[in-house]
Structure 1
Amino acid sequence: MDVRRADERYRGGEEAAGIDSWHAFSFGPHYDPGNLRFGAVIACNEERLAPGAGFGEHPHSHTEIVTWVVEGELTHRDSAGHVTVVRPGDVQRLSAAGGVRHVERNDGSRPLTFVQMWLAPLRPGGDPAYEIVRGIADSTPYAVPEAGAMLHVRRLAAGERTAVPDAARLYVHVVRGEVRLDGTVLGPSDAARITDAEGVEAVGVTDAELLVWEMPGTGEDRSGA
């Protein structure tokens, strides 16, 4: 298990524009050849947008983009005509496929925090697709077959235990609270990259929420952009 702490993330964004970004992997102008990906996951960004701030229209291709709102509301618009407001508990996925453009903004009156995870697809190309699942229930898996991955949402009370999936690769991101994962305590924005996971248990040290990506052991030749 390779634990990456919140303070190891590197900072991006644009403070003057009300955008604060924290990246777990090599991203944009920050290039780290030893930290390009883990399995299908090629980015796990924590974004904080002040009211009225946002990312103007920009392109993506050959990437599965999954967004989880921590607090506030995220307004999404894309070139395929989708306009939605994403709230805490919703899972949003944009399959960029052969190419799509989108806008992400905080049109609300309160600060917005969201976690955005990019996954490399099994095959490039295809037509863009969009999906939003409102209020996903605890322990309900969300499949991203285009990337051969499964997202599990876990919400734990203090002292509550849960098994995490056995898998060739697990990427665990703590959204809020503290959890003990295989004997190691992780706090908000900490992450663990686990290889050959078997019999791993998570225990809530406090009330906590975590996102767990379950992935197979193949597919390292995938590309994302």
Structure 2
Amino acid sequence: MIQVRRGEERYRGGDPDGGIESLHAFSFGPHFDPDNLRFGALIACNEERLAAGAGFDEHPHRDTEIVTWVVEGELTHRDSAGHETTVRSGDLQRLSSAGGVRHVERNAGGAPLRFVQMWLAPREFGGEPAYEIVRGIADGTPYAVPRAGALLHVRRLTDGERTAVPAAERVYVHVVRGAIGIGGQRLEAGDAARITDGTELELTALAASECLMWEMGPEPVYG
């Protein structure tokens, strides 16, 4: 089954007066929809746009795997575990908040910043926070998030290029740029497909495109 969610359906958030524009794919903060809480391990897929100098002041997280993909600009990250980095376009950042961590995210540069931030629920709670950054991740190289039992595939496709969709219990495809075709439907930048028990599916670039594709199992069960 393929369920398509359009970019214009996302919940609008952020702080426009503070230079922050947020678009949420799942229930987030005051935007509560009991029918749209998660998909597999994925509990948030936020498109964030920060004006120069704007950002999120120090705030806490726990028991969440936070994966950030910078589309354009530079993201300055600082956390309570002592990590301070600048994440650039094409870089992948992961913060495992585990038993608890605080961090700051800011656009300290002079150009607009755009990034996609995805939150995943871990299989087990607690533990020590962890941090990793992958510079210039190669196209098609799967990135594992073991605590969530998930794999992220970053795909950059030329016009007309095809790629297989993983045959997993849950696959989530987010279109970052361009346009793709999947299951007879056209998805453009900001659109997403939620695929359940898909087999022998292909994704076709209808223009030069960039996609984030999560390969996941069933939703975690606790207790």
TM-score in terms of structure 1 length: 0.97
SS at match of 2:128: coil
One-letter code of the match for 1:182? G
Aligned to 1:16: 17
Question: What displacement does 1:197 show?
Answer: 1.4
Between the aligned partners of 2:198 and 2:140, the Cα distance in structure 1 is 18
1:32 aligns with 2:33: yes
The residue aligned with 2:119 is 118
Where 2:169 maps in the other structure, the secondary structure is: strand
Structure 1 contact 51–112 (Cα < 8 Å) conserved: yes
Tell me the residue number matched to 1:192.
193
Offset of 1:30 from its aligned partner? Answer: 1.0
Q: Could you say which residue in structure 2 is the equivalent of 1:45? A: 46
What do the CA deviations read for 1:66-115 (whole angstroms, capped 9, x no partner)?
A: 00011101000000010001111111000000000000000011000000
* Kept in 1: contact 2:41–2:218 (CA 8 A): no
Equivalent pairs counted in the alignment come to: 222
Matches of 2:125 and 2:185, distance apart in 1: 37
Equivalent pairs: percent with the same residue?
69
Aligned to 2:167: 166
Q: Secondary structure at the match of 2:56?
A: strand
Off by >2 Å, runs of 4+ in structure 1: none
**TM-score, length basis structure 2:** 0.98
Answer yes or no: is the 8 Å Cα contact 1:120–1:222 preserved in 2.
no
Where do 1:104-183 residues align within 5 Å?
A: 104-183=105-184
> Cα RMSD over matched residues?
1.0
Could you tell me whether the CA contact under 8 Å between 2:39 and 2:219 is conserved in 1?
A: no
The CA deviation string for residues 17-41 of structure 1, in whole angstroms up to 9 with x for no partner, is: 0000000000011111110000000
Hey, what's the Cα distance between the residues in 1 that align with 2:169 and 2:109?
Answer: 40
| Superposition deviation, residue 222 in structure 1 | 5.1
